[in-house]
Amino acid sequence: DLAFVLNEIERRSDETDSIWAHLQTDAVGVFGHSFGGATALMLLTKDDRVTKALALDGWMVPVPREVISAGTEKPFYYLGQAAWDDPINYKKLDKFLKASPQARKQLVPGTKHFDYSDAPQFSNLAKRFGLSGEVSRPELRKLINKAVLTFFE
């Protein structure tokens, strides 16, 4: 649980000569893929220490209706495939975006859900099994890295 990790960092920050004392916990950015993207969104809406969140092809279906409807005033960025098999995912996301003035969505044609994990960067098997889209690994890596770094700078 990310909130637990932040609590532990804060608790340990009083230790002398500790790396923990050098970590900033009052302006944290979080991101995740799939369910991790939903987790990042939830933490953004529930924890004041989290100031930005990014979802890499986030799975919005498990996000509670009240969180979707309330939206957020904090920056949120969704980067993902052009379409999900189940349209409810983007219906929920779009409703959240409407209620969130600093949120945005970028959909990348030719990508699939698995492309937003690390696995396709290490093996061609994802392409062979149809789990990865048409975008080349170097092109996808460049796109994701640029989006993440730009958003969190």
Residue-wise pLDDT tens digits, 95-118: 999 999 999 999 999 999 999 998
Residues of the chain with pLDDT > 70, as a percent, come to 99
Instruction: Report the C-alpha gap between 114 and 81 in whole angstroms.
Output: 9
DSSP-based three-state secondary structure for 137: helix
Q: What amino acid occupies position 100? A: S
> What's the whole-number mean pLDDT along residues 123-148?
90
pLDDT band at 128 (very low <50, low <70, confident <90, very high): confident
Helical packing angle, 35-46 and 2-12, nearest 10°: 50
- Averaged over 128-143, what is the pLDDT? 90
Give the range among 4-18, 29-43, 61-75, 97-111 with minimum mean pLDDT.
4-18
Q: Give the mean pLDDT of 125-129.
A: 82
Q: What's the CATH number of domain 2-152, 3.40.50.1820, 1.10.10.10, 3.90.1170.50, 3.40.190.290?
A: 3.40.50.1820
Q: In angstroms, rounded to a whole number, what is the distance separating the alpha carbons of residues 34 and 11?
A: 30
Residue 117 has φ and ψ, to the nearest 5°, of -100, 175
Q: Is the pLDDT of residue 23 over 80?
A: yes
